């Protein structure tokens, strides 16, 4: 009997499945990338040792501006007709990428602020060029004696039409030395308990020009000429920087 050599062929096992979840230095694809452009290199090796590679880039752009925290509104008393020197705490700025950043303030703390309300603008810019802005106010006014004589605070003042009423205002505190303030009088008429519109007081007395108080003997005097015989309630004495 003749014997024959029989060869049995067995199929080779398939190559191992390569997981593509690891790239570059081993960071997973779910990693956090920094702002800017990052190159990612991916490689795969089969069971026979054959290696292939490819790459791509991840670009992260920062478009979020810094968030500023600013001081509360500031009030100051005028020391001259130019206003007052006002100081205030620093503003702070925080950026989600750069962290704490310096904040610029305009006008700066320690500057002279004019009478009235001034807006202080605070800004901060991060390394990506995003700028955050916030603001607060500095208000400067004269410090004065309160309700000017002869007005009553409860609104019961009554004056005769055509008469001359000397209204007196005294600047006090840090404003006491100011002798050249420009002060005007406004008032509102009250009829049957209803307050009318605010009006500028007027005068026909030569010693007072227009409706501006004059300084005399450490006080400001305005010779008011009521236009009508109606109860008039004091509304406010409004101070303006000179000239009006």
Domain boundaries, the chain: 1-61, 67-141, 165-240
Over residues 32-44, mean pLDDT: 86
- Distance of alpha carbon 196 from alpha carbon 108, whole angstroms: 41
Three-class SS state of 129: coil
CA angle 71, 73, 79 (to 5 degrees): 115
Q: Which residue has the higher pLDDT, 112 or 20?
A: 112
Q: Which residue has the higher pLDDT, 174 or 206?
A: 174
Alpha-carbon torsion angle 69, 73, 78, 81, nearest 10: 80
Place of tokens 């209204």: 167
* Count of beta carbons in the 10 Å neighbourhood of residue 121: 14
Over residues 1-18, mean pLDDT: 42
- Distance of alpha carbon 72 from alpha carbon 215, whole angstroms: 35
Over residues 148-175, mean pLDDT: 78
Q: Which residue has the higher pLDDT, 163 or 80?
A: 80
Nearest to residue 224, comparing CAs of 238, 212, 236, 242? Answer: 212
Q: What is the pLDDT of residue 30?
A: 67
Nearest to residue 237, comparing CAs of 177, 168, 164, 139? Answer: 168
Say if residue 149's pLDDT is above 60: yes
Q: Assign domain 67-141 to a CATH class.
A: mainly beta
Say if residue 29's pLDDT is above 80: no
Three-class SS state of 173: helix
pLDDT tens, residue by residue, 62-87 = 899 999 999 999 999 999 999 999 99
Three-class SS state of 199: strand
Q: What is the pLDDT of residue 217?
A: 80
Say if residue 27's pLDDT is above 50: no
% of the chain residues with pLDDT over 70 = 71
Three-class SS state of 18: coil
Q: What is the pLDDT of residue 28?
A: 53
pLDDT tens, residue by residue, 176-221 = 999 988 888 777 766 777 777 877 776 655 555 566 788 888 888 8
Identify the band that residue 115 occupies on the pLDDT scale cut at 50, 70 and 90. Answer: very high
Say if residue 168's pLDDT is above 80: yes
Three-class SS state of 181: coil
């Amino acid at each position: 009997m003749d014997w024959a050599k029989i060869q049995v062929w067995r199929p080779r096992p398939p190559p191992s499945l390569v997981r593509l979840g690891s790239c570059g230095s081993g960071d997973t694809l779910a990693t956090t990338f920094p702002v800017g452009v990052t190159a990612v290199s991916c490689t795969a090796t089969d069971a026979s040792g054959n290696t292939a590679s490819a790459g791509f880039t991840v670009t992260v752009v920062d478009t979020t501006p810094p968030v500023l925290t600013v001081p509360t509104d500031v009030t100051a008393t005028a020391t001259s007709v130019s206003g007052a020197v006002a100081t205030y705490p620093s503003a702070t700025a925080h950026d989600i990428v750069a962290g704490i950043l310096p904040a610029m303030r305009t006008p700066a703390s320690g500057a002279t602020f004019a009478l009235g309300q001034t807006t202080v603008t605070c800004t901060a810019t991060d390394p990506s060029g995003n700028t955050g802005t916030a603001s607060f106010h500095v208000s400067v006014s004269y410090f004065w004696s309160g309700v000017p004589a002869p007005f009553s605070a409860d609104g019961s003042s009554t004056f005769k039409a055509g008469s001359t009423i000397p209204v007196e205002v005294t600047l006090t505190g840090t404003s006491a030395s100011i002798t050249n303030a420009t002060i005007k009088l406004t008032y509102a008429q009250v009829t049957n308990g209803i307050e009318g519109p605010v009006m500028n007081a007027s005068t026909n007395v030569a010693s007072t020009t227009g409706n501006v108080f004059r300084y005399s003997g450490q006080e400001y005097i305005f010779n008011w000429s009521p236009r009508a015989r109606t109860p008039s309630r004091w509304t406010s004495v409004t101070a303006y920087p000179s000239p009006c």
